[in-house]
Amino acid sequence: MLRDFWRFRRRSRPAEPAAGAAASNAARTFLYLSGLFTLAGFLVVYFAQRPSETDHFATTERLAAAELHGRRTVDLQAAKMAHARHNPVYTLGLFGNSRSVRVSAQDLGLDPDQYFNFSVPGLSYRASVLTLERLAAAGKAPATSLISLDNLHLDYSGPPQVPDQIVRLRRLATDVTLGLKEQAPPRQVARAAVRAVRLEAQGVTSAFNADYWRKVLLDQDADDITGAYRLDGSFAPPAEEERARAFPRLTLTQRQILPFYLAADIQRLGELQRRYGVRVVVVESPVHHSVLPIESRRPALLQQFLKACESAGVDCMAAESSAPFVQGVAWPDATHAPGSALGRYIGAALADALGERGSAQR
């Protein structure tokens, strides 16, 4: 009965004029091709974003700062990785973000040819782990690598960002696969995937940002640089920035750290040590003692972090150990210790890990 009804409807529907049918088909074809070309354009822009392989740190401090000013995070990261590829393996490398980028060879009491600061402002701990893995695979991992972990009070974490899109997509697939295999909390697996996808989307949209291309192609704003990158990869802030200030207590509104992936990344570092014969030390960055929040997830996260370190055979140090080095000095803000004080803290962590207390301190 239903079949007869539909046959009746089809017979009773007026035939579409030939000209109308042709126009409708042409419109559909146009929309289809437009969508196809738009997708192709986005893919071309996405995969064409290859940061420069120039070793900016092989020149003068001023040029290094001018060339890198205003660029994307991955451009600075690519410049530092290019420097590692073009130079002998360093004795010590420091990986992190803006909280560790100020630490110079002088702060650690080392010669410039022994040390390089691979820290890149804006990156997360997960990006540092992936960067070190890439250097190790290329035979350029430092003999000892210090990784700065954002203080767990901040509850900050981001996607593993590196300059190569294929590597990032492979890491995304690996993270999802590992989470499903190990039966990680589904919410954590989903959040890790969403962050990675959002990062790729931002990479595409940045290619259509006129202000970005103005800075890259015309090198504008280079004369407005405050501070400069040193040849050892560290950043020298303006002298007036490091002065005493009053800081409000931290107000924590984010819960970004995914405990499963925090532990999994520590296991990756342990595997890296065993596979490549290098040494890795993870140091939790300090925050100013006057701004510690009343409540945070840090106690539970710290316990998980230290347990993962012990299981993986990775030397790790909690921020409490920094107190003798970072208190009583002027901080630029509540979550960024001055480079000199942070250098003494990191030097002590390194000395403890290597069993050579005093040799790495000034």
Question: Which pLDDT tens digits describe the chain residue by residue (362 residues)?
Answer: 545 544 544 555 555 555 556 666 777 776 766 666 555 555 555 555 555 667 777 765 555 555 565 556 777 888 899 999 989 999 999 999 999 999 999 999 898 889 999 999 989 999 999 999 999 999 999 999 999 999 999 998 889 988 888 888 999 999 999 999 999 999 999 999 999 998 888 766 766 666 655 655 555 444 445 567 888 999 887 765 555 566 776 766 678 999 999 999 999 999 999 999 999 999 999 988 888 776 788 999 999 999 999 999 999 999 988 888 888 888 888 888 888 899 999 888 888 777 643 333 33
Could you tell me which of 138, 143, 134 has the C-alpha nearest to residue 116?
Answer: 143
In a domain, 213, yes or no: no
Instruction: Report the distance separating Cα 57 and Cα 85, nearest Å.
Output: 12
Cα separation of 272 and 341, whole Å?
29
C-alpha 156: how far from chain center: 11
| Range of the structural domain that residue 32 is part of | 19-48
Residue 142 is assigned to a structural domain of this protein: yes
Burial of residue 9 (number of CB atoms within 10 Å: 0-12, 13-18, 19+): exposed
Examine the domain organization and report whether 261 and 130 are in the same domain. Answer: yes
Closest CA to 350 of 146, 44, 148: 146
**DSSP conformational letter for 238:** -
Q: Are residues 138 and 269 in the same domain?
A: yes
In a domain, 193, yes or no: no
Distances in whole angstroms, Cα of residue 196 to Cα of each of 39, 127, 308: 20, 11, 24
pLDDT for residue 332? 84
Is 305 within a domain?
yes
Say whether both 113 and 231 belong to one domain. Answer: yes
Whether residue 232 is found in the same domain as residue 128 = yes
Query: Residue 191, exposed/middle/buried by CB under 10 A (0-12, 13-18, 19+)?
Result: middle
Where are the strands (E) in the chain, listed by range?
92-95, 115-117, 144-149, 228-229, 235-236, 279-284, 315-317
Inside any domain, residue 13: no
Q: Give the global pTM.
A: 0.80
Q: How far apart are CA 55 and CA 86, in angstroms?
A: 8
Domain containing residue 82: CATH number:
3.40.50.1110
> Do 32 and 67 fall within a single domain?
no
Identify the H or E element spanning 198.
helix 186-206
Q: Are residues 303 and 342 in the same domain?
A: yes
Q: Is residue 87 part of a domain?
A: yes
**What's the CA gap between 72 and 77, in Å, rounded?**
9
> What is the reported pLDDT for 230?
86
Same domain, 143 and 251: yes
Contact 221, 68 (CB under 8 A): no
Apex 121 CA angle, 270 and 353, nearest 5: 35
In a domain, 181, yes or no: no
31, 63: one domain: no
Which pLDDT belongs to residue 302?
A: 95
H or E element at residue 159: none
Specify whether 253 is located in the same domain as 326.
Answer: yes
Same domain, 285 and 242: yes
- Of 318, 321, 347, nearest to 115 by C-alpha is 347
Same domain, 262 and 145: yes
Report the domain count for the chain: 2
Q: Are residues 103 and 229 in the same domain?
A: yes
Q: What would you report as the CA-atom Rg of the chain, rounded to the nearest whole angstrom? A: 26
Q: How far apart are CA 242 and CA 240, in angstroms?
A: 6
* Nearest residue to 117 via CA among 235, 269, 236, 280: 235
**Does 12 fall in a domain?**
no
The amino acid sitting at 213 is W
Q: Are strands 279-284 and 315-317 parallel, antiparallel or unpaired?
A: parallel
Q: Mark residue 2 as left, alpha or beta (left: phi above 0; alpha: psi -120 to 50; beta: remaining).
A: alpha
Alpha helices in 49-124 (DSSP H): 61-68, 73-85, 105-108
Token pair for residue 327? 């208190």
Contacts for 68-74: CB closer than 8 Å, 24+ residues apart: 68/229, 69/215, 69/221, 69/222, 69/225, 70/215, 70/216, 70/220, 70/221, 70/222, 71/215, 71/216, 72/206, 72/212, 73/120, 73/121, 73/122, 73/123, 73/161, 74/161, 74/162, 74/163, 74/203
Last residue of a domain, one of 27, 48, 69: 48
Burial readout 249-266 (b: 16 or more C-beta within 10 A, e: otherwise): ebebeeeebbbbbbbbbb
For β-strands 235-236 and 92-95, DSSP reports them as: unpaired
How many beta carbons lie within 10 A of that of residue 47, not counting itself? 10
